[in-house]
Amino acid sequence: MSAMAVGPALGGVGESIKRKEDAKFLQGRGQYIDDLVLPGMLHLAILRSPYAHARIRGIDTTAASAVPGVVAVVTGELMAQHNLAWMPTLSGDTEAVLATDKVRFQGQEVAAVVAESRAVAEDACALIEVDYEPLQAVTSPQQAREPGAPLIRDEKEGQRDNQCYHWESGDKDATDLAFARAAKVVELSTHYPRCHPAPLETCGIVADVDSVTGQATLHMTCQAPHAHR
């Protein structure tokens, strides 16, 4: 048997490729979102839900709006007035930009403050008062599928359970037959803890809107620029 061919002609598989991106980071010349400063740039801070599932009975933004340097305080109700409360996602579903009637996961965005500096935005954000009515939460896929489990996406018309998607691929009958004829069938349930990478910078975005052309240039940390566009 001949050895597998490797080399640059095959994409460098098996080769030790010298990295090209290290020099600027080692010399302190890396460019990050936080390094971008535009004339008159405003900053946004987001208030997130401490509850995994809760009804929003009211949001008081009076104190936050009165902080010097605050330009705007935005809630889901305001977004809804402009038909922006729910936006499409990559999966063909929709997702709340800011929660309106209730929050559906811990850390969900509830309100946002736009201010002249990051410090002012964060300080004002802490002054927003939200009246929550805690609801029973769903903490696992197994619990979500149990009869009588709390319905999380109850805003979706015709949604009766917590199953979000259903798809099939291949020949189901042939697969069932193969299992039926198998000498032994092994079932295994695995549970994984939360896994998250640790990038050099967290998620961020700087939007530059040209008032003359109306075009927006977005600088962001993401791996799907076309989707964001």
Q: How confident is the chain (229 residues) per 10-residue block, as mean pLDDT? A: 57 78 88 91 97 97 98 96 88 88 96 98 98 96 92 90 87 96 94 80 90 92 82
**Two tokens at 18?**
């010298």
pLDDT score of 17: 81
pLDDT score of 10: 61
**Is 132 within a domain?**
yes
CATH number (domain holding residue 110): 3.90.1170.50
pLDDT score of 40: 93
Running DSSP on this structure, what letter comes out for residue 212? T
- For the chain, how many structural domains are there in total? 1
Instruction: Report the alpha-carbon distance of residue 12 to residue 6 in Å, rounded.
Output: 7
pTM of the predicted structure, to 2 decimals: 0.80
Task: Give the domain range for residue 85.
Answer: 37-152
**Is 57 within a domain?**
yes
Instruction: Report the alpha-carbon distance of residue 125 to residue 116 in Å, rounded.
Output: 13
Cβ(175)–Cβ(185) below 8 Å: no
**Is 165 within a domain?**
no
pLDDT score of 4: 59
**Is 117 within a domain?**
yes
pLDDT score of 205: 92
Q: Please give the single-letter amino acid code of residue 133.
A: E
**Is 93 within a domain?**
yes
**Is 71 within a domain?**
yes
**Is 8 within a domain?**
no
* 112-to-17, 76, 127, 178 alpha-carbon distances in Å: 45, 9, 11, 54
Going by C-alpha positions, the residue among 97, 109, 112 that lies closest to residue 50 is 109
**Is 90 within a domain?**
yes
Q: What are phi and psi of 112, to 5 degrees?
A: -140, 145
